[in-house]
């Protein structure tokens, strides 16, 4: 066995049994599997993340892959949007809205209220922070049935800002919110939403 001092740590019996089952399935010694689990946990900690966040992010990526999403350079994507937007504005806006609705429904089913938080929307907004790579800041404030969402993406064009706005409206529509007011400038989005009822029942504009 590898060197190093060893300590006894109390662990729930069901977890120990599960680890032994996994070790058996993978043809590993339980000792090696347990140490690998600890090593990977420390690796995640050094990244400034936690295991739940990493696992949720991986599951999200796999879901996006399965839904037909692809990774494309932002310069290519926004070049095409900027070219098409003047003539296909309504169509592109609706496509982004519907994609946002799909994503909002997924986030609701998977993450709504899944963390200990003062607001059940917090884990959903956390996943938006993870998935919107071209956004530097995204936050929300709640006041009664109203939610104000703020989003900053300094490098976005006006067209890119508009389609992102539609995407965010789609996400929150799936969560049961409708845009009441908005203040949109190049790279800056502020939207106030009203709660309008049951999640997932809103229709596209």
Phi-psi label, residue 10: left if phi above 0, alpha if psi -120 to 50, beta otherwise? beta
Find how far residue 105's CA is from the centre of its chain.
Answer: 12
**In 47-196, alpha helices (H):** 51-66, 74-111, 122-131, 158-174
| Residues above pLDDT 90, as percent of the chain | 49
Is the pLDDT assigned to residue 101 strictly greater than 90? yes
For 161-204, how does the pLDDT look when each residue is reduced to its tens digit (9 = 90+)?
A: 999 999 999 999 999 999 999 999 999 999 999 998 755 444 44
CATH fold of 71-195 reads Muramoyl-pentapeptide Carboxypeptidase; domain 2 (3.30.1380)
For 33-47, how does the pLDDT look when each residue is reduced to its tens digit (9 = 90+)?
A: 999 999 999 999 999
Lowest average pLDDT, out of 2-11, 91-100, 142-151, goes to 2-11
* Whole-prediction pTM: 0.74
Q: What per-residue confidence (pLDDT) applies to 115?
A: 56
Question: Strand, helix or coil at 50?
Answer: coil
Which neighbouring-strand residues pair with 148? 141, 192
Question: Strand, helix or coil at 25?
Answer: helix
- Rounded to whole angstroms, how far apart are CA atoms 142 and 147? 4
């Amino acid at each position: 066995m590898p060197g190093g001092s060893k300590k006894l740590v109390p662990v729930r019996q069901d977890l120990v049994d599960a680890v032994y089952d996994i070790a058996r399935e993978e043809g590993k010694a339980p000792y090696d599997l347990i140490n690998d689990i600890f090593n990977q946990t420390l690796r995640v900690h050094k990244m400034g993340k936690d295991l739940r966040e990493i696992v949720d992010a991986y599951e999200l990526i796999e879901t996006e892959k399965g839904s037909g999403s692809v990774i494309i350079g932002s310069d290519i994507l926004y070049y095409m949007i900027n070219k098409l937007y003047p003539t296909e504005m309504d169509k592109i806006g609706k496509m982004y809205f519907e994609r946002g609705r799909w994503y909002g429904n997924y986030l609701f089913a998977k993450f709504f209220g899944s963390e200990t938080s003062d607001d059940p929307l917090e884990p959903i907004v956390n996943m938006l922070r993870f998935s919107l790579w071209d956004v530097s800041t995204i936050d929300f404030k709640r006041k009664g049935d109203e939610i104000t969402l703020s989003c900053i993406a300094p490098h976005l064009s006006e067209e890119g800002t508009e389609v992102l706005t539609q995407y965010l409206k789609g996400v929150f529509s799936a969560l049961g919110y409708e845009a009441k007011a908005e203040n949109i400038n190049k790279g800056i989005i502020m939207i106030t939403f009203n709660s309008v009822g049951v999640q997932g029942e809103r229709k596209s504009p």
